[in-house]
Amino acid sequence: MNSKGIFCIALLLAAAGIELGMRQSSALANAKTAEAKTIALEAEQLNMARTAIEENTDAIILQTLREQLQQNKTPEEIKRAVNSRLAALFTATEKNYTRGITVEFAIGSGGNADTAFLNENSSIIVLPAGGRTIAGEYSFTGGLLRNKAVQAEITGSRTRQLFRIPAGYTIRATVVK
In a domain? residue 8: no
Task: Please check whether residue 133 lies inside any domain of the structure.
Answer: yes
- Tell me if 4 is assigned to some domain: no
Q: Considering the chain, what percentage of its residues have pLDDT values greater than 90?
A: 42
Q: Which of 84, 94, 79, 77 is nearest to 171 (CA)?
A: 79
Query: Could you tell me if residue 107 is inside a domain?
Result: yes
Global pTM value: 0.78
pLDDT of residue 22: 84
Number of domains making up the chain: 1
Q: Please measure the distance between the N-terminal and C-terminal CA atoms of the chain and give it in whole angstroms.
A: 105
Q: 31 in a domain, yes or no?
A: no
d(CA 142, CA 137) in angstroms, rounded, equals 15
The residues, ordered by sequence, that sit 6+ positions from 143 with a Cβ below 8 Å of its Cβ are: 120, 121, 167
Q: What is the pLDDT of residues 55-112, one digit of tens each?
A: 999 999 999 999 999 998 999 999 999 999 999 998 888 877 767 788 888 764 455 5
Write out the residue range of the structural domain in which residue 142 sits: 46-176
> 57-60: long-range contacts (C-beta < 8 A, 24 or more apart)?
57/86, 57/89, 57/165, 58/171, 60/85, 60/86, 60/89
Q: What is the mean pLDDT of the chain?
A: 87
**Is residue 92 in some structural domain?**
yes
In a domain, 79, yes or no: yes
